Structure 1
Amino acid sequence: MQFFLFHLMPYADLDLSAPDKYDSAWVTLPNTYYDPKKGHQLYNRYLDELEMGDTLGFDGICVNEHHSNAYGMMPQPGVLAGSLARRTKNVKIALLGRALPLLNNPITVAEEFAILDNITGGRFIAGFVRGIGAEYFSWNVNPAFSHERFHEAHDLIVQAWTRPGPFAFEGKHYNFNYVNLWPRPYQTPHPPIWIPSQGSTETIEWASHPDRRYTYLQTFSPVTALAKYMAQYRDSAEKQGWQASPENLGWAVPCYVAETDEIAMREARPHAEAFYQKFLRMPTEMLLPPGYLSLKSMQGVMRAKAQMQSGDKSLEAVMKSGMFLCGSAKTVREQIVRYQQEIGFGKILTMLQFATLPHDLAVKNMEIFARDVMGEIRKMDVSPALAAAK
């Protein structure tokens, strides 16, 4: 199993009453709640935490893209990845990912990612997403074109990385007379591509196509949904003539580890509940606007996200569903191993800082997780159950 340290860079100093006044910490939350002086401290603190992932022995560190919110302050994640590229030496840097349908010029991402790949000497992982529904409000993009803009932007970027230039690209949304990428990517034929998703059927089928075989990541979902969508990826791959392996599947989940189960729950509770009740909450029409998903995918995602949207979001509830791992190192270690053996994922992206969790507790969490969870699992002969891998 590979271990990645995932960070959202939330605005940890948020007035927690604000999301209640505006229905969400996204899109409509006034930016007057943001204090640049506190932001200066937070950005540098968060970069320090991600850089610790290198010294603690994680396989990789992860940043991502979100806009107009307190949930994750990385509207331009390449800026953060560029800083990390020079300050780390061993970990892979995964940018998970750029929201391709929002772009007017996907070549900018091809260039940005190629530069990062060159600076790191091939330690870069490219993540492509459609962006959640809220991003389409922030960027004033029609969600009904989400899939076709995503696919066309993806094709343009991959061709820019792999085809000798200059060449012309003609599409419905993007047209270029001269595609001629400088610099070219360091990795051949291009950086690995990962696809985070909420569980769109079309995205799973597309990512699992034999021409792509992209790593599929399930984000912030109950374990029942995780198992469902990972099985769907394996089934889709099999129908298309190839056998998916655990390396093709990853799980992103918040986690808190302490000396005992009781201490872990006490220390994590206010911050985990702030994450699910304040930072992540948004109206359904903002998360899944009309046209963003097909009817089939909409029904599936709505069922999977029901608890996140309207159900019980106490610490006990999100722990029970598997949306939050919390406890002693032994407890969390056993949970991860059991889920991996049952479900068959090969990558786990742990979010060890979340919402308002302060730096001292984040560092404690990272150190215990690295030593007593990740370190101990790496000593074990852990492999997914054959039934899950088929």
Structure 2
Amino acid sequence: MKILNFSLMPYRPLDIPASKDYRSVWVNLPNRFFDPEKGAAEYEAYIDLLAGSEELGFDGVCVNEHHQTAYGLMPAPNLIASALIQRTKRIKIAILGRALPLVNNPMTIAEEFSMLDCMSRGRIIAGFVRGIGAEYHSSLINPTESHSRFHEAHDLIIRAWTETGPFDWRGEHYELKYANPWPRPYQQPHPPVWVPSQGSLETIEWAADPKRKYPFLVTFSARDTVIKNLLAYRQQARDFGYEAEPGQLGWAAPVYVAETDEQAIDEARAGMEALFNDYLNLTPEMLLPPGYSSMASMKKLMEAKRAIGRSGFGKGTGRQSIERLIDQGTAIVGSPKTVLEKIRAVQSETGLGNFVAMLQFGTLGNEPAWRNQRLFASEVLPALKAL
């Protein structure tokens, strides 16, 4: 297995009680809640945490993109990736992912990723996503165009990476007379593309297509949902006439390790419950704007969200306890033995080959995050790599 370390880079100094006067920490929470001095310290601490992953033996680190939210401070994840390139020499840097429909010119993403790939000498993993529903409120992009914008942007970027330019592009959403990106990517024919998702039927079929065979990464989902979606990808691959490799299957989850199960629960409680109750408090219209998902995928997403409780369903469903999150398998918390067993159990059922551990989450502070990262690396990571 390949093991990567992921941080959302949440804004931990957030005045959570005061933020409750607003519908969510997404989209319309006034930016006066952000203190630039504290924000600068947050960036420094998070980059230190991720850069430290190399000497601890991780295969890679992950960053991602979100806008106008305290949930994650990376509206431009390519900038964080650039900083990590300078702080590391070996590990992969996965940008999971860039929200393709939100850009007006996909060539900028093709060029930025090519730059990063050259700067890192081929260590970039490109994660492509549509962006969650809230991003469409922030950007005023029509959510009914989400799928078509994503697919056209993806096709344009892949062609720009693999075909000598300039060439002419006349699409439904994008029009270019000279598609001719400088520089070209270091990895040939292009950086690997991963697809993070919560299990959209369309996404599984698209990612598993023999023309792509993109690694599919299930995020923020209960254990049973993770297994169901990864097996659905395997079956889709079989329907296409091939057997999916372990490297095409991945799972991302928040993890906390301590000497005992009881200690781990106690130390992780505040940070984990803040993540799922305070930072993920998306109201239904923010999570699923009209036209964003097909009816089948919407039902599936709502089932997955219901499994982790309040997230995505407003403020009336009550707070989630860490005990329930652990019981559902949405969070992995415990002693090294317990954590290893929980990950192994899913790996044995699905054959997944990539595990992304979120070792800092919610309001978890720097010291416990470092302890968690070091203990995971020393007691869990070696056994997982051997699977």
TM category, shorter: over 0.9
| One-letter code aligned to 1:319 | I
Choose which of 339, 353, 359 in structure 2 pairs with 1:352: 359
1:299 is aligned to 299
| One-letter code aligned to 2:323 | E
Which SS does the other structure have where 1:94 is aligned?
strand
User: What are the Cα deviations for residues 188-230 of structure 1, in whole angstroms up to 9, with x where unaligned?
Assistant: 1000000011211111111110000000011100011111111
Tell which deviates more after alignment, 279-288 or 183-192.
279-288
Which SS does the other structure have where 1:168 is aligned?
strand
Choose which of 325, 334, 340 in structure 2 pairs with 1:333: 340
What TM-score comes out, normalization by structure 2 length?
0.96
User: What are the Cα deviations for residues 234-287 of structure 1, in whole angstroms up to 9, with x where unaligned?
Assistant: 111111121112210110100000111111111100111111110111111111
Tell which deviates more after alignment, 355-364 or 310-319.
310-319
The whole-number CA distance in structure 1 between the counterparts of 2:19 and 2:139 is 20
Structure 1 residue 309: deviation in Å?
4.5
The whole-number CA distance in structure 1 between the counterparts of 2:7 and 2:83 is 15
What TM-score comes out, normalization by structure 1 length?
0.96
1:93 is aligned to 93
Q: Tell me, yes or no, if structure 1 residue 131 matches structure 2 residue 138.
A: no
The whole-number CA distance in structure 2 between the counterparts of 1:316 and 1:18 is 26
Query: Which runs of 5 or more residues in structure 2 are unaligned?
Result: 311-316
User: What are the Cα deviations for residues 31-74 of structure 1, in whole angstroms up to 9, with x where unaligned?
Assistant: 11100000010001100000011111100000000000000000
Which SS does the other structure have where 1:173 is aligned?
coil
| One-letter code aligned to 1:95 | I
1:385 is aligned to none
User: What are the Cα deviations for residues 329-383 of structure 1, in whole angstroms up to 9, with x where unaligned?
Assistant: 111011111111022211110000011111000000000000000023335xx3x
The whole-number CA distance in structure 2 between the counterparts of 1:307 and 1:336 is 19
Q: Is the 8 A contact 1:281 1:309 kept in 2?
A: no
Choose which of 354, 363, 375 in structure 2 pairs with 1:368: 375
Q: Tell me, yes or no, if structure 1 residue 323 matches structure 2 residue 330.
A: yes
The whole-number CA distance in structure 1 between the counterparts of 2:349 and 2:228 is 12
Alignment of 1:200-211 (within 5 A): 200-211=200-211
Q: Tell me, yes or no, if structure 1 residue 140 matches structure 2 residue 140.
A: yes
Q: Is the 8 A contact 2:255 2:331 kept in 1?
A: yes
The whole-number CA distance in structure 2 between the counterparts of 1:99 and 1:166 is 25
The whole-number CA distance in structure 1 between the counterparts of 2:309 and 2:354 is 26
1:387 is aligned to none
User: What are the Cα deviations for residues 284-342 of structure 1, in whole angstroms up to 9, with x where unaligned?
Assistant: 11111110000111111111111335366100000011110001111101111111102
Structure 1 residue 8: deviation in Å?
0.5
User: What are the Cα deviations for residues 75-96 of structure 1, in whole angstroms up to 9, with x where unaligned?
Assistant: 0000100111111011000000
The whole-number CA distance in structure 2 between the counterparts of 1:139 and 1:43 is 24
2:314 is aligned to none
| One-letter code aligned to 1:292 | Y
2:111 is aligned to 111
Q: Is the 8 A contact 2:308 2:330 kept in 1?
A: no
User: What are the Cα deviations for residues 127-155 of structure 1, in whole angstroms up to 9, with x where unaligned?
Assistant: 00000000000111110000000000000
| One-letter code aligned to 1:359 | N
| One-letter code aligned to 1:260 | T
| One-letter code aligned to 2:371 | K
The whole-number CA distance in structure 1 between the counterparts of 2:305 and 2:141 is 23
Q: Tell me, yes or no, if structure 1 residue 157 matches structure 2 residue 164.
A: no
Query: Which runs of 5 or more residues in structure 1 are unaligned?
Result: 383-390
1:240 is aligned to 240
The whole-number CA distance in structure 2 between the counterparts of 1:173 and 1:144 is 13
2:313 is aligned to none
1:55 is aligned to 55
The whole-number CA distance in structure 2 between the counterparts of 1:65 and 1:350 is 17
Q: Is the 8 A contact 1:307 1:313 kept in 2?
A: no
1:64 is aligned to 64
The whole-number CA distance in structure 2 between the counterparts of 1:363 and 1:21 is 33
1:258 is aligned to 258
Percent identity of equivalent pairs: 52
Q: Tell me, yes or no, if structure 1 residue 214 matches structure 2 residue 242.
A: no
Q: Is the 8 A contact 2:3 2:385 kept in 1?
A: no
Which SS does the other structure have where 1:24 is aligned?
coil
Q: Would the alpha carbon gap of residues 18 and 309 (structure 1) be closer, same or farther in structure 2, given more than 3 Å must change? A: farther
Q: Is the 8 A contact 1:56 1:370 kept in 2?
A: yes
1:342 is aligned to 349
2:102 is aligned to 102
**Cα RMSD over matched residues?**
1.0
2:279 is aligned to 279
